[in-house]
Amino acid sequence: MDFLLNKNLKILLIFLLLIFSYYCSIIIGISWDELFEINRGQDRLKYLFSLGSYDIAPAQNDKYYPGLYSTISAFISNALPKKYIYESFHIINNTFSIITIFGLYKLVKILFNKYVALLAFIILFFNPTFFGHMSMNPKDTIIAFSFVWTTLTLLRYLSNQNNLLKRKKFIIYASLFIGLGLGTRIQFISLLIPLFLYVLIFSYSNKQFSLSKFFIDMIKILIISYFIMIICWPQVHSNIFIEPFRIFFEQLKIHFGPDAILLNSKVLLTSKIPFYYIFLNLFFKSPEYIILTYLFFLPIIIYDKKFINDEFDNFYNKILLLIFIIISPTIFIIFSSYKVYDGLRLFLYIIPFYCIIPSITIYYLIKKNKIFLIKVISFIISLFFIFHIYNFIKITPYQYTYFNLFSGSKDNLVKKFEIDYWGISLNDLIREIVKKDYIKKNGFTNIAICGMNVEIAKIELKKYPKFKYKLKNYWNEDYDYIMMNNRPVFKDENKIITCYEKFPTKSIVDIKRNNVILSSFKRAF
């Protein structure tokens, strides 16, 4: 396996992957939340530079977000051309995501070995859900970044607790990562629970580890993280010791997001999501070769314990950590009243850890490749991996819309799942509409929008000043055409259907990738 670690090969591979990821970050459209996050970041930055005198514009639900990352990205983007504000935010976000992948490499190297680490690096990069969100998701990718690097910092601490200098470094680094996580979304605090559980297991098997020292250090970290969290949160500055808690508990009673989602042909209320929601999404959105590696993993750890014990230390404890992390969202769904939506987006932080078990399986197959049965299995997984890479490139830059073969016919997916739920294909859709001259040059074209962000549509349409249009409400106004993706909407007060059910007319323009419809432009009737 040493060829995988060839320095020149690694440099070339990383260079090509970086070029590809930044290319995608430039050409991709504006996601639903980006507009809010950019405005939030710029407002918070003005507030900080004015030393609190700038009056933050009231925005819906704005007070529930500490806005730390939004402010940081706004500060960085101000050094870049204003003309490319969205592209600059994508580049910044992509950079954090790339660092997350490198963090996973370092983490897996500590847990297992350098070969498994490199495989995990490659598998995560080519995970369509993670890659698809890398540049256009301004919150969940940062949660993933903070969680991976917090976990990595903790693992280093566990083996160096008695080193005073490294303990101090742990307090500093963990405070920064946890502070960034909390400063992006307060609920990040719940992600620390599986890490605490792992520490308890570790302390049981390692008598030299001091739990009392750990708890003292964690108290210090949480205090520092708390103050990092509130730096860019003006709504709590009137009373920094009470307001964050008041807002947090107030948030528990308020439900954000859409009222319904589409999952495997079923419209589900987001307030009543079934416990298997995460696993069903993981199944349909995981590349086929990943599912196969999970199937082969179980017999490996059951029937070849000698290999496991020879290759790895405390293997089963480490696998337990991964299980804690992967199943924690399900526990969250069961016991929380929060709305859950957008597939795996809100739980993007599990994806890096989800990629570790496949990397162990592939490592095993490579090490045991002299056995005939292993050769056959390896060949099959290799074919599926090549097939995946082909599809991965084919759907550029909309990798997050990926669904595997188990999800059903590509032509039928628009009726079964929310494909482009963040509407990032809207820029391509409008470009094609303009190209085909469906927007009037003289007079106005009346356009309604279903399932997409109207404000983003205005931004994209402004790129074509020669064309005249009016955006209409499809509920109570007259319109000629409708732009849509397949998010659920209210048919009436009692029934929820998708945009494609509400507007079944034939499409004039479809944006597709790999024969899957992402968005459409239709005549009204």
Helix intervals (H) in 368-504: 372-394, 426-435, 454-461, 499-502
Q: Report how far residue 154's alpha carbon sits from residue 325's, in angstroms, rounded to the nearest whole number.
A: 14
Mean of the per-residue pLDDT values of the chain: 91
CA distances from 317 to 119, 202, 330 (A): 21, 8, 21
* Model pLDDT for residues 285-327, shown as the tens digit of each residue: 999 999 999 999 999 999 999 999 999 999 999 999 999 999 9
Q: Is the CB of residue 44 less than 8 Å from the CB of residue 235?
A: no
What average pLDDT does range 407-436 have in this prediction?
Answer: 91
The reported pLDDT for the residue numbered 291 is 97
Q: Report how far residue 421's alpha carbon sits from residue 14's, in angstroms, rounded to the nearest whole number.
A: 30
Tell me the residue type at 364.
Y
User: DSSP states of 82-101 as a string?
Assistant: GGGHHHHHHHHHHHHHHHHH
Q: Report how far residue 48's alpha carbon sits from residue 134's, in angstroms, rounded to the nearest whole number.
A: 28
Q: Is the CB of residue 44 less than 8 Å from the CB of residue 66?
A: no
| Side-chain-facing half-sphere of 325: CA atoms under 13 Å | 25
Name the least confident of 34-38, 100-104, 372-376: 34-38
Neighbours of 500 (CB within 10 A): 21
Residue 254 pLDDT more than 80?
no
Per-residue pLDDT band for 444 (boundaries 50, 70, 90) equals confident
Q: Report how far residue 368's alpha carbon sits from residue 383's, in angstroms, rounded to the nearest whole number.
A: 18
Cβ contacts of 406 within 8 Å, gap of 6 or more: 283, 284, 288, 291
The reported pLDDT for the residue numbered 13 is 87
Name the least confident of 151-160, 182-191, 271-280: 271-280
The reported pLDDT for the residue numbered 258 is 85
Residue 441 pLDDT more than 70?
no
The reported pLDDT for the residue numbered 491 is 65
Among 510, 505, 498, 511, CA closest to 523: 505
Structure tokens at 322: 């991964």
More reliable by pLDDT, 118 or 271: 118
Q: Is 166 exposed, middle or buried (0-12, 13-18, 19+ CB in 10 A)?
A: middle
% residues pLDDT > 70 (the chain):
97
Q: 429-464: buried (b, 16+ CB within 10 Å) or exposed (e) per residue?
A: bbbbbbeeebbeeeeebbbbbbbbbeebbebbbeee
Q: Report how far residue 427's alpha carbon sits from residue 431's, in angstroms, rounded to the nearest whole number.
A: 6
Give the strands of the sheet with 469-472, arranged side by side.
469-472, 445-450, 481-484, 516-523, 507-513
